[in-house]
């Protein structure tokens, strides 16, 4: 098979299989990020949290790096952290919107 027809009933399975295959290639290089992508990806959405902003930024860059190597782009990045939102904007992902105002505590 040279191409995959999206919109068919098998599309979600094929997407998942492609992503799992891609992630296996990067287990040694990006172990933590690969584990998060494996466990917290639903179809084409990746939802996770971290304990620190620095950890979030690392995951953000690693996840983007992995997916770009397969010509896949992760978009719709969002965070309650202004630091991470700014990092996303710097990388031209301008569709991020705040989840809450800066006075909210988590």
CB neighbourhood size of 90 (10 A): 9
Question: DSSP letters along 43-66, please?
Answer: TTEE----SSHHHHHHHHHHHHHH
Q: Is residue 2 part of a domain?
A: no
* pLDDT tier at 95, thresholds 50, 70, 90: very low
Distance CA 50, CA 67 (A): 20
The pLDDT value recorded for residue 6 is 65
**Per the domain annotation, does 42 fall within a domain?**
yes
> What's residue 22's pLDDT?
93
Whether residue 56 lies inside any domain: the answer is yes
Whether 40 is in a domain gets the answer yes
Range of the domain at 49: 35-91
**What are the pLDDT digits (tens) for 42-80?**
877 889 999 999 999 999 999 999 999 988 888 888 889
Per-residue confidence band for 12, with pLDDT thresholds at 50, 70 and 90: confident
Residue 60 domain-assigned (yes or no): yes
Residue 101 falls inside a structural domain = no
Q: What is the total count of domains within the chain?
A: 1
Q: Indicate the pTM of the whole model.
A: 0.74
**Residue 52 within any structural domain of the chain:** yes
Residue 5 confidence (pLDDT): 67
List the single range of 8-12, 26-30, 32-36, 68-72 with lowest mean pLDDT: 8-12
- Does residue 96 lie in a domain region? no
């Amino acid at each position: 098979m040279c191409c995959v027809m999206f919109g068919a009933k098998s599309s979600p399975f094929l997407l998942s299989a492609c992503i799992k295959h891609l992630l296996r290639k990067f287990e040694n290089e990006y172990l933590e990020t690969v584990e998060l992508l494996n466990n917290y990806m639903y179809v084409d959405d990746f939802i996770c949290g971290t304990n620190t902003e620095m950890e979030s930024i690392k995951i953000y860059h690693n996840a983007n790096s992995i997916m770009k190597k397969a010509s896949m782009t992760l978009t719709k990045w969002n965070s309650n952290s202004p630091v991470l939102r700014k990092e996303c904007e710097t990388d031209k992902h301008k569709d991020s919107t705040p989840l809450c105002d800066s006075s909210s505590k988590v």
